[in-house]
Structure 1
C-alpha cells in the first residue's frame, strides 16, 4: 500500500490523531478567540481566566470529527483523481474538502455549541449540564444551533486551506524531484495554508460564534448577523479574534497536517 493512497482505516486513525493533537495543544488560543468574538465582550466572557473551560467536550469530539473528515476527504480523492487530468486535480480537492466538512459537521457542531458556551457564558457548568440546557430550551436542535453558519464557515475555509495545501505540496515535490514531500514540509505547507484561510474567513467565524452563543434567541441569517456586528463595531468587529485565530490555525495547521502525515506514513510502513 502506498502512503499516497491511504486506506479508510489509515485515514481514520491518522485523522483522529491529528484532530486530537491540535484541539488539546492549542485550546487556550481557541478560548481567547471565542471570547474576543462574544457579544458580551472579552472581559465579561472571562478574559484570561479559565482558558481551559470546555476542553472536555473538545477532547471528546476532536478525534471523531477529524476522522470523519479525512475518511471522506481521502476516499473522494482516491476515487476522483484518476478520473481527471492533473490540471483539474484542484477541483477534486475542493469537492473532497467541501463534502468532508459537511460530513464532519454532524459530529462537530454539538461539540462546538457546548465547548463555546463553556468558554464564555457557562464556564462554571459541566459539559453535560450545558448540553441538557440547550436541549431543554430548544429541543435536540439546540445542540445544532449554528449548524448552517458552521457549514458556511467551514466549507470556504476548507476549500481554501486544502487547495493551497495540496498545491504547495505538489509544487515542493516537483522542485525536490520526489513523488511526495516529507511530514516536516507537509507541516509547513499546512501552517501557511491554515493561516491564509483563517484570516480570510474570520468574519464567518465571528458570525458562527455569535449564533452559537445566542441560546434560544433568534439570530437571523448569517448575513444578518454580519450586518449587525458591522453596525455595532465596524470592520474591526468583523475581524474580532483575528490574531489568535490566525495564530491558532497556523500553528494548528502545522501540527494537524504534520501529525496526520506522520501517522499515515508510519501506519502505511507497518503494513
Structure 2
C-alpha cells in the first residue's frame, strides 16, 4: 500500500526533473556559439539597413536641403523626384557602399558584444531584464567606432547624389567613397570622420537598450504563450517589429535634437529675422558649404552630417534654432518653444523605419541562428 501511495509522488518528481532538464537544454540552445551570433547579426543587420536605405536617403535630402524654399518636402514627393531625376543606383541608393561595410561590421560587433555581456551578467546572477538592457548599451558602445565613420561618409554621399549632380547642389562633389574619405581627412582632419560620435551615442545607446529589453521580454512571453521555444514566424515578426517601433518612439526626442544640432546654422541666434533668408541662400552662406567655409571657432561647426535614422523631416521655418551643441539644453529649448509635440516631430516615420528595420534584422538573426545550429548538428552527425 505504501508503494502504491508513493507512485504519484514518484511521477511528480520525474515530471519536475523532466521540466528542469528541458529548461536547461533550452537555456543552452539560447546560447549559440559566438561566431554564429556574430554572423547572424551581421547578415540580419545588413539586410535590414539595405532594405531601408532608400528611405534613409529621402530623410537625408529632406533634412540636409540647403535651399529656401526647400526642394524636397513630403516623403512621396522626395522619393519620386530623386528617382525621376537621378535614378535608383546613384540617387536613392547613393552612399550604399559605406553603408554596406559599416552596417555589416557594426552589427557583427554589436551582436558579438551583446551576447557576451548578456551571458556574463546572467551567469553572475543579474536579473534577465537588467542584463538585456545593459547588454544593449555595451553593444552600441562597441559598434559605434565602426558605425559612425561609415555613417558620415554615407550621409554626405546620400546628400550629394551623383558626381557633378545637375539636379541638386549639396556643396559636396566626391567622385567615390574612397575620394570622400581622402578629401574629408585631408581638408577637415581625420577626426571629421567621427563627427557626431557623442550625439549618435546619445540616441543609439538608449534605443538599443530599450529595443533588446523589449525584444527579449516579448520573446519570453511568446514562448510561454506557445508552450515552445519555437514561436513561429508571425510572432517572430511581431515581437521584433514592435520592440523596434516602441524603442524608436520613445527615443524620438533624442533623434530630433540630434538632427537639429547637426544641421543648424552657426551663430544664427544673433541673425536678424529680416536677413535670415539671405543668410540661408545657397548663393551666399549655405549650410552645406565646403570645409574651407567652416568656422573653426564655432563649438558646433557648420557640418551637414546627420547620422540619425529617418525620423525627423526638414524642420519648419518657424522651428527653434538651437545655438548649442548640448543635447540636454537643446531638448529644453525645443520643449520651451514648441511644446511636447516639437520633441516628437517626425515620430510617425521613425516608428515605421525602426519597426521594419528591427523586424528584418531580428527575425533574420533568429532564423540564421537556427540554420547554423542545424548545419552544425548535421556536420557532427556525419
Q: Same fold (TM over 0.5)?
A: yes
Structure 1's 241 and 59: CA in aligned 2 closer, same or farther, altered over 3 A? farther
- With structure 1 as the length reference, what TM-score do the two structures score? 0.87
2:200 corresponds to which of 150, 154, 166: 150
| Gap regions ≥5 residues in structure 2 | 1-24, 83-90, 164-173, 265-290, 301-324, 377-382
Q: Which moved more, 1:155-164 or 1:231-240?
A: 231-240
Larger RCO: 1 or 2 (CA < 8 Å, sep 6+): 1
Structure 1's 257 and 20: CA in aligned 2 closer, same or farther, altered over 3 A? same
Structure 1's 44 and 240: CA in aligned 2 closer, same or farther, altered over 3 A? farther
The offset of 1:147, in angstroms, is 0.4
Q: Match for residue 101 of structure 1? A: 140
CA RMSD of aligned residues (A): 2.8
The offset of 1:234, in angstroms, is 6.5
Q: Does 1:221 align with 2:323?
A: no
- With structure 2 as the length reference, what TM-score do the two structures score? 0.63
Q: Could you list the per-position Cα deviations for residues 65-111 of structure 1 after superposition, in whole angstroms to 9, with x for gaps in the alignment? A: 111000000111222213226xx211111111000000000110001
Structure 1's 234 and 135: CA in aligned 2 closer, same or farther, altered over 3 A? farther
Question: In proportion to residue count, which structure has more helix?
Answer: 1
Q: Match for residue 161 of structure 1? A: 211
The offset of 1:249, in angstroms, is 1.2
Q: Match for residue 27 of structure 1? A: 53
Residues 2-17 of structure 1 mapped to structure 2, 5 A cutoff: 2-17=28-43
The count of aligned residue pairs is 269
Q: Does 1:248 align with 2:345?
A: no
Q: Does 1:129 align with 2:168?
A: no
2:365 corresponds to which of 251, 260, 271: 260
Q: Does 1:58 align with 2:84?
A: no
Higher CA-based Rg: 2
Q: Is the 8 A contact 1:64 1:107 kept in 2?
A: yes
Q: Could you list the per-position Cα deviations for residues 175-217 of structure 1 after superposition, in whole angstroms to 9, with x for gaps in the alignment? A: 2222353454223211001111112212322333455557755
Q: Which moved more, 1:147-156 or 1:50-59?
A: 50-59
The offset of 1:39, in angstroms, is 7.0
